[in-house]
Amino acid sequence: MSNFSAQRVRAETPEFLRVINDHPLTYLDSAASSLPPRAVIEAMSRYYELRHANVHRGVYQTANEATDAYEGARATIARFINAPGGADEIVFTKNATESFNLLAKSWGLANLGRGDVVLISEMEHHANIVPWFQLREVTGVEVRFLKVTDDYRLDLSTLDEDLAGVKLLSITGMSNVLGTINPVRELADAAHRHGALVAMDAAQSVAHAGLDVTALDVDFAAFSGHKMLGPTGIGVFWTRQEILAAMPPFLGGGGMIADVRTDGYRPATGPSKFEAGTPPIAEAVGLGTAARYLESLGLDHVVAHETALTADALTRLAHHFAGRVHVIGPATTQARGGVISLDVEGVHAHDVAQVLDEFGVCVRPGHHCAKPLMRRFGLAATARASFGPYSLTADTDVLIEALEHAVKLFG
Amino acid sequence: MSNLDDLYREIILDHYRSPRNRGQLATPPAHRVEGFNPLCGDEITIDLLVDDGVLVDLKLSGQGCSISQASSSLMSVAVKGKSRDDVRHAIASFKEMMLRHESALSDDESKNQVARLRELGEIAALQGVVKFPVRIKCATLAWNTLAQGLDELAL
């Protein structure tokens, strides 16, 4: 029996105390950034109040506590994503974007040259596109795109041909625009049959569809703390231990070395090799707390809750605005998460979002850092509403009321 | 809804629904200039036909939100047929109107601003945009693009 309660999550999330334009906050922008619960904020405060010191250096008590807190977060994340090799496979970065840059500029530079192919898709976030174009400029690697079908799914009809010559398939687990959840295990199996490795952009899926890197059988994963109820400024790069050991260092400096002399340096081993400089310690503590918080809610319950909200919202939007408001994404919750991109006929997404703000409704207008996907569907911008574990059907009520106002205002 | 009413004045909605001077001119003789707002994807193309220091005609194309579309439409009406100096003056006045003032204006500054707004005529309907900082770039896109076009023409 589930004891998950979205009402309780909301009560534990301080930002919901805000009043915007005389309305309570209707936060529908969790796909951009989720709201942290009080537990996360307090864990970071406690760290700064009681045990802040630099990690991996001092011999004094608080320095040991800081190191334990930081390394404890690494172990928590390893458990949270079921990393087969444990904490030694978890590299802390700034965000998923930095994780992709680490992948492209370390592993990619060493392994992807002229004649090789990296296969991505039209529904990728710029974070999983631009680093590959940058690598192409340096090594001449080919960047190939899987197409997206008219019903907002990856076109897998020619997957075997698309995988020819591919050394890396780098694919999102869940589109931040469409809500589409991709069949990552099936894709990983196909890619492995062709001898390719598989990287997964888990930024959207980690807190809304779950992430089990062992079950999905991927080789790399990247995600951000702030999209899973954690703080900004911290992200995760995961890969299997043997791949990590073979990857050349990325950023250079303190903390990532075994030895430095006047004639050169030797890099550290393990995740440290990729964590140059003082890391985001408080943020790691916050991220570890967020992962434990999600575990305490039960991610299955979170996913079920958000799926129910999405099904309800899709039905009601279709009913209220037939022909006037188009959902840019799958029409049912089959392999679909709680991201609902809206195209309102005759009303630009910025104007939609502006009117919604008047009702205290937070949605995101724009291209969502996925311009190839927007071009694919001939759109400049959509207004995107997205759910989190604290979302309620009452949020959809306000969304619909505000959308009605926007449609009326612009005639 | 008082905030929204300040932003979406009737004249703005009118120019959004029925934009003036839409289309394209043959280039040459017209000069084409393009502007982009990379954050929101708004795009504008302005074709400028200049003769003897006078902006004889201009046509606009592209896409964007109501504020960027209305601002470009209002701009086109205000500057069409005007001399180089008048066009430059209108751009300067508009950009002045879009500046956010950190502190209250002095009496003289206020009077000055009121005078300049009167000069701008219908365009003054856009002054409500200043209250919405993220929308200022929507309102200024067309004007910055026009200024860029004048620069390219060395006007």
User: For residue B155, what pLDDT is reported?
Assistant: 83
Q: According to the model, what pLDDT value does residue A2 have?
A: 65
- Banded model confidence at residue A395, pLDDT cuts 50, 70, 90: very high
Does the annotation count A362 as an active-site position?
A: no
**Residue A167 pLDDT level (bands cut at 50, 70, 90):** very high
* Cα–Cα distance for residue pair A407/A270, rounded to 1 Å: 55
Asked if the Cβ–Cβ distance from A350 to B40 is below 8 Å, we say yes
Alpha helices in A200-277 (DSSP H): 205-208, 213-216, 241-246
User: Are B64 and A410 within 8 A, CB to CB?
Assistant: no
Q: Summarize the confidence of residues B17-27 as an average pLDDT.
A: 93
B133 compared with A35, residue with greater pLDDT: A35
Interstrand relation of A197-201 and A220-224 (parallel, antiparallel or unpaired): parallel
Enumerate the residues of chain B whose CB falls inside 8 A of the CB of residue A350.
40, 65-67, 135, 138
What is the reported pLDDT for A1? 46
Over range A169-187, report the average pLDDT. 98
Contact A409 B4 (CB under 8 A): yes
pLDDT tens digits, B45-91: 999 999 999 999 999 999 899 999 999 999 999 999 999 999 999 99
Tens-place pLDDT, residues A293-303: 999 999 999 99
What is the structure's pLDDT at B2? 63
pLDDT at residue B119 in the model: 73
Structural domains for chain A = 6-30+298-410 (3.90.1150.10), 41-296 (3.40.640.10)
- Alpha-carbon A329 to chain mean position: 18
Strands (E), B11-75: 31-37, 42-51, 54-63
Average pLDDT over residues A43-51: 97
Q: Over chain A, what is the mean pLDDT? A: 96
Mean pLDDT, range A243-258, rounded to an integer: 96
B66 within 8 A of B135, measured Cβ to Cβ: no
Q: Terminus-to-terminus CA distance in chain B, angstroms?
A: 43
Task: Name residues whose C-beta falls within 8 Å of residue A397's C-beta, 6 or more positions apart in sequence.
Answer: none
Q: How far apart are CA A241 and CA A86, in angstroms?
A: 9
Q: What is the pLDDT of residue B102?
A: 56
Phi, psi angles (nearest 5°) of residue B46: -120, 125
How confident is residue A277, by pLDDT bands cut at 50, 70 and 90? Answer: very high
Answer whether B17 sits within 8 Å of A411, measured CB to CB: yes
Q: Is A16 left (phi over 0), alpha (psi -120 to 50) or beta?
A: alpha
Q: Is the pTM of this model over 0.90?
A: yes
Q: Which token pair is A397? A: 């009520």
Q: b/e string for B98-110 if b means 16 or more Cβ within 10 A? A: beeeeeeeeeeee
Residue A188 has pLDDT above 60, yes or no: yes
Lowest model confidence (mean pLDDT) among A111-125, A145-159, B3-17: B3-17
Per-residue pLDDT at B120 exceeds 80? no
| The predicted structure's pLDDT at residue B31 | 96
CATH architecture label of B2-150: Alpha-Beta Complex (3.90)
Choose, out of A348, A373, A375, A407, the residue to mutate when testing the contact with B (most B CBs < 10 Å). Answer: A348
Averaged confidence pLDDT in chain B: 88
Identify from B66, B72, B138 which residue to disrupt to test chain A contact, counting A C-beta atoms within 10 A and taking the largest count.
B66
Spatial neighbors of A149 by CB under 8 A, at least 6 apart, are A155
The per-residue pLDDT for range A54-78, each reduced to its tens digit, is 998 888 999 999 999 999 999 999 9
- Flag whether pLDDT at A169 surpasses 90: yes
Above pLDDT 90, what percent of chain A? Answer: 96
In the predicted structure, residue A331 carries a pLDDT above the cut 90: yes
- A/B interface, count of CB pairs below 8 Å: 50
Q: What value does the mean pLDDT take over residues A144-162?
A: 98
Q: What is the pLDDT of residue B112?
A: 75
Question: What average pLDDT does this structure show over A285-310?
Answer: 98
* Chain A residues with beta carbon closer than 8 angstroms to that of B138: 350
**Segment among A48-52, A89-93, B125-129 with least mean pLDDT:** B125-129
pLDDT, tens digit, for every residue of A7-42? 999 999 999 999 988 999 999 999 999 999 999 999
Q: How far is CA A229 from the centre of its chain?
A: 11
pLDDT, position B103: 57
Cβ A411–B132 below 8 Å, yes or no?
Answer: no
Question: Which residues of chain B approach chain A closer than 8 Å at the C-beta?
Answer: 1, 3-4, 7-8, 13, 16-17, 39-43, 63-67, 69, 132, 135, 138
Strand, coil or helix: A220: strand
Mean pLDDT of A231-239: 98
